[in-house]
Structure 1
Amino acid sequence: MWGAAIEYKSGKCNMDSNTKVLESKSHKGIKCIWTGSIYYSFSKYNFKWKFYWDELKSQGVDKLTGHITVFSVNNECTAIKMNVELTENNQEFTKEFGYDCTTYDTFYYEYSLTPHYAPIIEKPSYEKMFAPSDQNDTILIVDGKKLHVNKTFLSYHSEFFRALFSSNFKEGQMDEIPIGDVSFKDFALLLSTFYPKPVFPSDESVEMILKLARRFLVSFAVISAEHHLMNNLKINIEKMLCLADEYGMSTLLEKCIRELNTMEKAKKLKQSETYDQLSAETKLKVYERLVDSS
């Protein structure tokens, strides 16, 4: 869900040889600090917009999308319109462009940003989800609580349960099967990704889902987690790269590597705590990406 676009027009600011704050203004819950500089050796202007929107976040907004248009008052530079997407981990926008003028120019900008509200997700009732039913034929005991499930359905989605319910294991002959070393909440969360009505992962649950999906060999849960992370805007790229590498999510891994398109991003990754956890193969892919981008 999204709200009405928030529009703003700045004052007119003169450019000179110094990098400086051109304007700092708040408007309808959005504060923007606009800075600018001139690179004479490259005949380029450089502008940066830093946005703060904590007030909107407190109202449920999780991102802003729209555009910024920068204008030359003297019309010595063509107006430039730029699409932007602002999230919790990406609140800056930078634009650099060439110029032909020989004198300092005066600029102003306009933005139109649409707030996007995070969906309100109702938490599932695991007690109801795994209550007794004619469709269920066995009971799992987790953390002292009973989950009524269907053997065939679980076996189809998990090699772990396929083996557990087979005649080769004593558990396959039991009416109630204990599952140890996992909390009821976390285990029910894993099962809920595919059974009986799928519940999608969230930023808070995705890492636990991946951990348990590996233990209980639930490939669909990994696919669901990868889909969430592919469309996620809050978890930083370093964390997503680490998860993609650890849990074999190849599509997410390639996306993360493509986004490492500047030396600044590469340095940030190398200085992060997660870098040393990456496999040698992924580190090589990161290096090759930087070579291609240089």
Structure 2
Amino acid sequence: MSVQDCPEVLRFSLQILATSSKFFHALFYSKFSESSQQEIKLVDVKHLEFVDFLNLIYPTHKCIDEDNVEHLLKLADRLEAPSVLEKCEEYLISSNEVHKVMKLKYAEIYKLSRLQDKCLNTITSRQDIVTLSKHEDYKSLGDCTYNVLLQKMIELNC
């Protein structure tokens, strides 16, 4: 398999990829033309980002961190790899390095309900919401998250 910005071909177990990703399972075991090809090219996937993804599927000691969590979430969603999404969610729940606004954004985009609940449970005052609203990425939150924050603000006023 080859990915963008990498001159070499990556080799790995099709079975491991297929059991970890619905995308790869369909690609390798369905009637797609790619299933019979010797080499498959992944478009719009960067080499190092894909290596990070593989490190979460294979038993390695590579960790999720604030630098790779976003592209791991994107790849996990795109390649339909629920175990990678779950590992990213666990990291985000336990991390103090990723800002709460970004956690809420990821929770909405990737439907990470446990992460959203954990973030909302840490909001204990209106001032917490005001502080969130000053973050540079606050305006990029979706309507669903704004509605949940509004509901939280209403609850805090009661």
**TM-score w.r.t. length of structure 1:** 0.49
Larger fraction in strand: 1
Task: Choose which of 215, 231, 235 in structure 1 pairs with 2:78.
Answer: 215
Residue 100 of structure 2 aligns with which residue?
237
Name the Cα RMSD after superposition. 1.7
Residue 201 of structure 1 aligns with which residue?
64
Question: Alignment partner of 2:2: what SS?
Answer: strand
Query: What whole-Å deviation, never above 9, does each CA across 1:14-35 have from its counterpart, x for those lacking one?
Result: xxxxxxxxxxxxxxxxxxxxxx
Residue 2 of structure 2 aligns with which residue?
141
Cα deviation for residue 144 of structure 1 reads 2.4
Question: Alignment partner of 1:179: what SS?
Answer: strand
Contact 1:145/1:184 (8 A) holds in 2 = no
Cα deviation for residue 167 of structure 1 reads 4.4
Question: Alignment partner of 1:147: what SS?
Answer: coil
Measured in 1, the distance between the counterparts of 2:82 and 2:74 equals 12
- Paired residue type of 1:168: K
Cα deviation for residue 256 of structure 1 reads 0.8
Measured in 1, the distance between the counterparts of 2:109 and 2:135 equals 16
What's the % identity of the aligned pairs?
26
Cα deviation for residue 173 of structure 1 reads 0.8
Contact 2:17/2:57 (8 A) holds in 1 = no
Question: Alignment partner of 1:180: what SS?
Answer: strand
Task: Choose which of 132, 153, 158 in structure 1 pairs with 2:16.
Answer: 153
Moved more, 251-260 or 278-287: 278-287
Contact 2:108/2:144 (8 A) holds in 1 = no
Cα deviation for residue 200 of structure 1 reads 2.6
- Paired residue type of 2:47: F
- Give 1:93-104 correspondences, 5 Å limit: none
Long gaps (5+) in structure 1: 1-139
Cα deviation for residue 180 of structure 1 reads 2.2
| Match status 1:174 vs 2:10 | no
Residue 267 of structure 1 aligns with which residue?
130
Long gaps (5+) in structure 2: none
Query: What whole-Å deviation, never above 9, does each CA across 1:80-104 have from its counterpart, x for those lacking one?
Result: xxxxxxxxxxxxxxxxxxxxxxxxx
- Paired residue type of 1:255: K
Larger fraction in helix: 2
Measured in 2, the distance between the counterparts of 1:257 and 1:167 equals 41
Residue 5 of structure 1 aligns with which residue?
none
Question: Alignment partner of 2:80: what SS?
Answer: coil
Q: How many residues align?
A: 155
Greater relative CO (CA pairs within 8 A, separation 6+): 2
Moved over 6 A (4+): none
Cα deviation for residue 141 of structure 1 reads 1.7
Cα deviation for residue 163 of structure 1 reads 1.4
